[in-house]
Structure formats: C-alpha cells, structure tokens
Amino acid sequence: MMRARAAARLKIGVLLCSLAGLCTVAAKAEDRVTGYQELNPELQAMQDDPFMNPGMLWVSEGEELWSLSPGGGSKSCASCHGEASSMKGVAARYPAFDEQSDSITDLAGRIMTCQTRHQKVEPYKRESRELLALTAFVSRQSSGMPIAPEADPRLTPWKQKGEALFQSRLGQLNLSCAQCHDDHAGQRLLGALIPQAHPTGYPQYRLEWEGMGSLTRRFNNCLTGIRSTPFEAGSDEYMALELYLMERARGLPIEAPAIRP
C-alpha cells in the first residue's frame, strides 16, 4: 500500500510539474550540469577529500585486489597490466566493443571477462563488494579525464538502442528516462533533485544506500520507482543504455568515486 501511494505521488509530481510549466528542454552540450555541480558545498568537499570520501574505502580494497592472485596459480591483474597507471583513460571509454563475444561490455563486465578468460577463475558477481572495489580502483585511474566513448561504427546500433530505451515509456507509471532527466532536469520530485543523468562517477557512494553501487543498481532503482521490471544485470539493454548515457556525457570529467545523496 505504501509503495502504491509513493508511486501515485511520483506520477502526480511529474504531472503537476508539466501543468505548472516548469519543464525544461534537454540540456545542450554547453548547458550540461553534472551531479557533482548540483551537490551542496559540504558534499562536494566530502567527494574531493580522499580522507573523507567513503568511496575511497572501496578504492583501497580494489588496490589490494589488483596485486592479489585470485588463487590456483592465477596471475594477478598487476602481473599482466603492471602499475595501475596503465589503466588511465580506460574508464572514460567504456562500454566498449568486445571482439571475442561480438558484443559490448561495461568496465565491470570487462573485469569479469578477464577473470574468466585469463585468470581462469570464477568471476566476481555483479554488485559484489569485490567487483565494485576493483572497478572503483580502475575507474579512479581516469579521474579528471574527459569521457570519450570510442569512435567505433560497431557501437552505433548499440547507441541507437540505448537512445530508444531512454525515450521509451515503461512501467505502470508510463514514464521514460527522458521525461525526468531531460524534460524535468533541475526540478524536484518528492524533495529530490532530478539530475541530467550523466554517469560521471560510477561506481559511486550514495548516502541513501550507505554504500557503493554501480550504474546498474541506479537503473534498477529508477525502473522500480516507475513500477517497471528491471532488466537483468549485464543485459544488452543496460549495456546499450549506459553507452548512450556516456555519449551524452562526452567531454565531462570522470570523477570516480562520486558521492551522491
């Protein structure tokens, strides 16, 4: 009953925003605003200070995993890639095309693939602390670098699929990503600020989660909020949607691990 009432309030909030003429158009490239820019000064300071940013706990764990052999005689990440600095720029260009699977994968998926193909071990589970930690550590190496999806023509149909999903109405509330993050970006819904949905800092630490989470977890939250069934973690739908969001955020700086309310 409480979830039904919350869903009803969510729909009413969006409708009232439209009726009141508070809608905004999709942000032009020069008008883009990141989630960091929308934080209050206290949270910005928390994100900027590596001793205050709780996401750095996961980064530290990831640093340990980088140099740790997963067992069974398998090589560590560092054994193949060397210093972590070799990962500079990697997070800025994922999701990317994977030749062997003839598909695309996100950064977490690439780590899982390395574990399977090269280390010959069971990969970490998505949203596991280990995978979030290692992904956060690798992402941290690209901090401050501009998001730059690869100019690979094989990615084009995936971007198109992601854009179609972004514009598609889903769930019992019949809402699309674009209706919130384009039409109503910068407005408030049930007291929460609606961002432009630029994925600049994943994995990120969210205060409401009291922990780290991937973009997949954020997708799941949004879909559950509009009373829609989330896609499977690592699905083509999530890969396409993430790629499209990264394209929208092209040129914005990587800020992993980000802090969000």
Q: What is the pLDDT of residues 87-143, one digit of tens each?
A: 999 999 999 999 999 999 999 999 999 999 999 999 999 999 999 999 999 999 999
The reply to whether 2-48+148-260 and 57-140 are identical in fold is yes
The architecture that CATH gives domain 57-140 is Orthogonal Bundle (1.10)
* Residues paired with 104 in a beta bridge: 97
Q: How far apart are CA 138 and CA 132, in angstroms?
A: 10
Whether the CB-CB separation of 133 and 62 falls below 8 Å is answered with yes
What confidence score (pLDDT) does residue 10 get?
39
- 223, 229 Cβ separation under 8 angstroms: yes
- Alpha-carbon dihedral sign for residues 191, 171, 247, 129: positive
d(CA 188, CA 186): 7
Does residue 18 register a pLDDT over 60?
A: no
N-to-C CA span, the chain: 26
CA–CA distance, 185 with 180 (Å, rounded to integer): 6
For the chain, the structural domain boundaries read 2-48+148-260, 57-140
Length reported for the chain: 261
Nearest residue to 27 via CA among 187, 219, 135: 187
What are the tens digits of pLDDT across the range 225-241?
A: 999 999 999 999 999 99
**Is the domain defined by 2-48+148-260 classed in CATH 1.10.10.10?**
no
Average pLDDT taken over every residue of the chain: 90
Model pTM?
A: 0.87
pLDDT higher than 50, residue 8: no
The one-letter amino acid code at 220 reads N
209 — pLDDT class (breaks 50, 70, 90): very high
Burial 197-225 (b: 16+ CB within 10 A, else e): bbbbbbbbbbeeeebbbbbbbbbbebbeb
Please say whether the beta carbons of 256 and 139 come within 8 A: yes
Backbone angles phi, psi at 192, to 5 degrees: -100, 140
Distance CA 24, CA 181 (A): 10
